[in-house]
Amino acid sequence: MKVIIVATVGKVERTKLENIENQEFNSVQAILDEFPNDTVQLFTLSEFMDACNNSDDDTPKALRIDVANCWIGYVEIVGNEK
């Protein structure tokens, strides 16, 4: 399963995402362990698409992504845990 990682520009260095891009992980926790002191959001591809498309309506801010202010990366979960 592809997982999209969203990090706020200025709170997470872009190189952190670039260094793990397209890598395989066994679990969500393994992905989060790559960002121990940072806050990132994880989305399935479908969730990410919806959150981006919600940016122009009255959807609560927690369910929207402003891609102009975020670093975007992706990885894959290959283990049994999704």
Q: What is the pLDDT of residues 9-57, one digit of tens each?
A: 988 889 999 999 999 999 999 999 999 888 899 999 998 988 888 766 6
Domain limits at 51? Answer: 2-77
Give the bridge partners for 24, in sequence order.
Answer: 76
Q: Do residues 72 and 6 touch, judged by C-beta distance below 8 A?
A: yes
- DSSP single-letter state for residue 27: S
Quickly state the pLDDT bin for 66 (edges 50, 70, 90).
confident
Query: In the chain, how many domains are there?
Result: 1
Q: Is residue 26 part of a domain?
A: yes
CA dihedral 24, 30, 33, 35 (to 10 degrees): 40
Provide the whole-model pTM.
Answer: 0.82
Q: Is residue 55 part of a domain?
A: yes
The arithmetic mean of pLDDT across residues 57-68, rounded, is 71
Q: Is residue 82 part of a domain?
A: no
- Token representation of residue 13: 């260095």
| Pairwise CA distance, residues 15 & 82, whole Å | 25
